[in-house]
Amino acid sequence: MKKLFTSVLIGLAVLSSTACKHPGKEAEMLTETSPENKDEISKDIFTDSYGEKIEVTINRSKGTAIIHLEGKTYNLKKSDALPEYTASNEEYQYSNIKGNITLLKKNVDMVLFHTKSEIKGSGSAKMASY
């Protein structure tokens, strides 16, 4: 009887010690979070009447515009002196004034791209009559 009591007591001790174990502290994994990109960026693609496409990426936070036309890339800075959204550098000027999109070469006054985009949200308002 003494052997049975001792073996039951040892068994309970083993069970209680394994059952009450808390998982060890897990290794904390430190992950570096990249800073959130808070730049206000818009990307548009416009097509003119000849089927040529221009890709315009505007970063309003940094005041820059990146224009892709016919395999060439133009990096322009926002011009505050000109109306609506206009960006330029020494050679080129991009403007989007009331939906008229124009890219021109300034020193020879040559238009490289021009189109008139439809302004979104200007649909006709319908009124119901009863």
The DSSP H or E segment spanning 13 is helix 2-19
12 falls in which pLDDT band (50, 70, 90)?
low
Let me know: does 80 contact 74? Beta carbons within 8 Å.
Answer: no
- The total number of residues shown for the chain amounts to 130
Structure tokens at 11: 């068994």
Looking at residue 5, its pLDDT comes to 72
Q: How many angstroms separate the CA atoms of 124 and 22, rounded?
A: 68
Nearest to 40 by CA among 56, 59, 55: 59
Q: How many angstroms separate the CA atoms of 128 and 117, rounded?
A: 30
Q: What pTM, to 2 d.p., does this model score?
A: 0.59
Structure tokens at 46: 């416009």
Looking at residue 8, its pLDDT comes to 73
